[in-house]
Structure 1
Amino acid sequence: MTYHVLSGLPRSGSTLLAALLRQNPLVHADMTSPVAQLYIAQLQAMNASVEMHHHFDTARRRRLLRAVFDAYYGDADVRPIVIDTHRSWTCMLPGLVDLFPATRAICCVRNVGWVIDSLERLARKHPHRLSALFGNRADATVYERVEALCASNGMVGYALDALKQACYGAEAGRVLVVRYETLCRDPARVLARIYAHLDEAPFEHDTANVQYEADRFDLAVNTPGLHRVRRGVSFEPRDTVLPPDMFAHLESFNFWERPDVEAHGIAIV
């Protein structure tokens, strides 16, 4: 079994990309899995107790952490190339690389203004549902919602900080940054680059027939459509629903567009 990770910013194409990659009979890819949380819980359990942590030397820690992956993906029908999705993986790459030296990270990005715009549209599409993504507040303004999302522990802010850590860290050469716009406009190019990044044989995908939904998960956070992928890959330009001052401010968060990023060894498509 070969393990890789899919991470990056929310609303930036990771669900679409997973839906495409799973067309390959050798690749297991899906929406956010519980593996990262199981990994974190295992790691914390081995370090939390002063009375117990001396039982775990480095070799035992590594065996137990590898077992999280092997146990979760141990079903006979799981495909040999596993791409696990979670936004936390970008801040845990050193540990993953230690366990699985072949691991590579695929990180989806999108202009942060459009990420927030996409989330705000979901909130306005269902005005009588109070989404857990925004703290379940009925009287919050768009400015308050964006502040919560962009906080260091918010859905977007956390993912952005973790992505920066991966892009500027020692494992930067293992990261492939995938722009949402490129994925939608030229999916064949992106997929070819991903297979090269993973050192796997290319596969011909059907980008005109790709659909995915996770309605049970989306309803659990009271945000229908959060992980729904429409049939066919395309890019649809639109006007933002955000106030102009807010959208302009959010564009300053797009650090991957700065020239110094590629100097750190990051591949961007």
Structure 2
Amino acid sequence: MNRQTHFISGLPRSGSSLLSAILRQNPRFHANISSPVASMFSTMLGEMSGRNEFSLFISDTQRQRILRGLFCNYYDELVDAEVVFDTHRSWCTRLGALNALLPGSRVIACVRQLPWVLDSIERLVRRNAFQPSSIFSYKAGGTVYSRVESLLSGEGLVGFAYNALKEAYFGEDTANLMLLQYETLVSTPPRALAAVYDFIGEPYFDHDFENVSLDNDEFDARAGTPGLHKIRPRVEANERKTLLPPDLAARFKDDAFWRNPKVNPRGVRIV
């Protein structure tokens, strides 16, 4: 590959779109919302597995070459950037594979306290009361309780990402993993970006935190969730009261495991 590839992953509604919008100010970088690469990666792995009778003719070396080529072929004609950040929540489940395929790659996992992740999604649902969202398979109705249960299921938007994050955090391939807290990104963006640049080994770029932009309105409208990736031009923390009932908010308040240094056995970098 002629360019360096890194990855943005972690929890939804935790700053991945904001981070991408900031990074793309650097003319050497390409970053955006989730791409189809991770899904194609999983599909190709499945098609090259034993469920396909022709897998007999595919060696592990060929599998790796084909998967490595996926990144080249997707991005080569799409961008001219020297450094690409591909975004998807499932990358947290692929640390070992990514390290083998793309040595030197890094995974930045964006994290946020679960009650505020759930609150942010609930706000989107209520703001788009007349448009059922792809987040809930376009099903209308339900309550905040049923929506939270759906989100936290093993295959739900939040549950899958949270489990993937724990798999990465407590796994053995953490050398290329960093956790970036939403609270740090919005309250002290220069510190957050300096840590990102240090982690990926790139010279720092002087970002403009007063004029950040990312346009994905068409994608959000098609997903039935206008505003899903909308970001404010100015990076700043905004205090607000939660929409979640008190019992729901209290239920998940202690689930930010990354804030407990006693359960960081491999010394994952947390910013």
Give yes or no for the alignment of 1:10 onto 2:5. Answer: no
CA contact (8 A) 1:211 1:232 kept: no
Q: By how many angstroms is 1:190 displaced?
A: 0.6
How far, CA to CA, are the matches of 2:78 and 2:182 in structure 1? Answer: 33
SS at 2:149's partner residue?
helix
Q: In 2, Cα distance between the equivalents of 1:51 and 1:114?
A: 46
Contact 1:33 1:85 in 2 (8 A): yes
Give the fraction of aligned pairs with identical amino acids, expressed as a percent.
Answer: 43
Worse-matched range after superposition: 73-82 or 182-191: 73-82
Corresponding residue for residue 101 of structure 1:
103
- Cα distance in 2 for residues equivalent to 1:75 and 1:192: 30
Q: Does 1:155 align with 2:157?
A: yes
Name the counterpart of 1:226: 228
Aligned-residue Cα RMSD (Å) equals: 1.2
The TM-score normalised by the length of structure 2 is: 0.96
Secondary structure (helix, strand or coil) at the match of 2:53 reads coil
Higher mean alpha-carbon deviation, 145-154 vs 255-264, is at 255-264
1:145 to 147, 157, 177: 147
Name whichever of 223-232 and 46-55 sits farther off. Answer: 46-55
Report 1:219-258 matches (<5 A): 219-258=221-260
| Larger deviation, residues 255-264 vs 205-214 | 255-264
1:48/1:220 CA distance change after superposition, 3 Å: farther
Q: Indicate the residue corresponding to 2:70 in structure 1.
A: 68
Instruction: State how 1:101-140 maps to structure 2 within 5 Å.
Output: 101-140=103-142
C-alpha separation in 2, matches of 1:26 and 1:20: 12
Tell me, in whole angstroms, the C-alpha distance in 2 between the residues paired with 1:113 and 1:67: 39
Contact 1:6–1:105 under 8 Å retained in 2: yes
Q: Mind listing any 5+ residue stretches in structure 1 that lack a counterpart?
A: none
Aligned to 1:262: 264
Distance 1:83 1:261, change over 3 A: farther
Q: What residue in structure 2 maps to residue 80 of structure 1?
A: 82
Answer whether contact 2:138 2:224 (CA < 8 A) is retained: no
Partner of 1:58: 60
Q: CA deviation at 1:174?
A: 1.3
The structure-2 alpha-carbon separation of the partners of 1:76 and 1:121, relative to structure 1 and needing over 3 Å to count, comes to: closer
Count of aligned positions: 269
**Structure 1 residues 51 and 137: CA distance shift in structure 2, 3 A:** closer
Who is 1:196 aligned against? 198
Per the normalisation by structure 1, the TM-score is 0.97
